[in-house]
Structures are given as structure tokens and as C-alpha cells.
Structure 1
Amino acid sequence: MTEAVTEPDSETVMEEPEAAPPAGPSLHQPRRWLIAAGEIVAIVLLAWLAVWCWNRGVVRLAYSIIEGQEPLISTRYHGNWIGTAVGALTLAVILALDAVRQVVLAVRTRPQKAAEADV
């Protein structure tokens, strides 16, 4: 088949791209220290919750069958408590990673004039 040949319009006007919108808040903000501190408090509370739930989820039972012999020791695991402990610890680890990120961004804060000079 033969393709149709079209001629470019000579009256086409090239428009200039629009100016970029004003920059929003930068990543480097000193208030990130407060966010990191709040996350560290949450990490400590979640770690305490995980230990408490784990201790409630593992129950040791001792049965003495014959006098004079060591008792039979049995361990019972409660899945709801252990699952809660694992969930709390997982959330604490995620918050720890974010707290490290917040601290790094807070430390790297630079004055506006120094930031503009680097550009």
C-alpha cells in the first residue's frame, strides 16, 4: 500500500513550556528531630508490648506423675499472643528504619543561602 504524504503546516506555532510550579517544602527540615523522637518513644513502647505479649503466649505446665521423680514439663503456645508480639515487633522495626531516615534528613539541614550556592 502507498502511504499518503502530508506536508507539515507552516503556520504551526511552537509554544514555550510553562514555568515550573514553586517548590514546596524541602526534604531537609529541622522539625524531623521531633518526628524521630516520637518514633523512638513508639519503638520502646512496641518493644515492651512485644515482650509482654510473648510472655503471655508461652505457658509452661508441670505435671508431677510419680513422687520423687522430676515433673513432666509441657509448653503451650497461644497463637493470638505470639502473633500480636510478632506484629508489634515488625511495626517497631519499620518505625526504627523511618526514625533513622528522619534523623539523617534532619542532620543534613542546610541554610537556604548555602543550598542555593551549591546549585
Structure 2
Amino acid sequence: MTEAATEPETVVDDEPAEAPADGQGLHQPKRWLIAAAEAVAIVLLVVAAVWCWNRGVVQLSYPVEGREPLVSTRYHGNWLGTATAALTLAVVLVLDAVRQVVLAARTRPQKAAEADM
């Protein structure tokens, strides 16, 4: 006779995993400081982006006798690219700052967290 192949039994653990004892969980109040530092970095990056953009667009005026001067605009790609990169980094930091604030705001005292279980 042949024996039927049996699969190993899987054990289901109904108890939730405990948070690490060393305080390395997701919800940490120090995230407010990280979000504040990112907010400062966002402001600095936006100011740098505006400054770089203004340096990247140059208006040139050529005088012509008997008419209005000819005005042309010259674009410097290195400054415009730097401005775009700074603004992109600022947007990424905005997303992370929102994430940090949400995680910091959801921090609950340990007794309240245990009472919910």
C-alpha cells in the first residue's frame, strides 16, 4: 500500500506580537523633532530653489536706434535643473514630514495601549 503524503501542520498564533522593549517601535514621540527639522529643511530648499530659478533666467536687452530695445531671455540649464532638484527634494521631505507627524501623533501611553488589547 502507498501512504498519502501529509503536509506539515501550520500553527496559527492568535496572540499579537509585543512591541520591542527597547523603544524602537513605530510610534515614538521623538518623531516631532524629526518633522520639525524636516520643516526647516523644506523652507531652506524652497528658498534655494527660488534663488536658483532666478539665476537661471536672464533677461538681455539690446538697444536699437529709433525703436524699443530688443529683449531676449536666456535660460541656464544648470541653475534651472538645480532648482527643480531642490523643489523635488522638498516635496519628498513634505511627504516624510507628514508621515512623521502622523506617527508621532498616534503615540499612546503604554497603559492605554494595553487596555485596548
TM range, normalised to the smaller chain? 0.7 to 0.9
Name stretches of at least 5 consecutive residues in structure 1 with no aligned partner: none
| Cα distance in 1, alignment partners of residues 11 and 84 from structure 2 | 56
How far did residue 74 of structure 1 move?
0.1
Identity %: 65
Displacement over 4 Å in runs of 4+: 14-18
| Cα distance in 2, alignment partners of residues 63 and 79 from structure 1 | 22
SS at 2:107's partner residue?
coil
| Cα distance in 2, alignment partners of residues 100 and 28 from structure 1 | 14
Name stretches of at least 5 consecutive residues in structure 2 with no aligned partner: none
TM-score normalized by the length of structure 1: 0.81
Bigger CA drift: 97-106 or 84-93?
97-106
TM-score normalized by the length of structure 2: 0.82
Q: Does 1:73 align with 2:64?
A: no
Q: Does 1:52 align with 2:48?
A: no
* Equivalent position amino acid for 1:61 in 2: L
Cα RMSD over matched residues? 2.7
Q: Which has the larger radius of gyration?
A: 1
Residue deviations 1:61-108 (CA, integer Å, cap 9, x gap) = 0011223x2111000000010000000000001101111111111111
How far did residue 23 of structure 1 move?
3.2
* Equivalent position amino acid for 2:2 in 1: V
SS at 2:58's partner residue?
strand
State the partner residue of 1:39.
Answer: 38
Alignment: residue pair count: 112
Alignment of 1:95-110 (within 5 A): 95-110=93-108
Q: Does 1:5 align with 2:2?
A: yes
| Cα distance in 1, alignment partners of residues 11 and 102 from structure 2 | 39
In structure 2, do the counterparts of structure 1 residues 5 and 41 end up closer, same or farther at CA, with 3 Å as the change threshold? same
* Equivalent position amino acid for 2:19 in 1: A
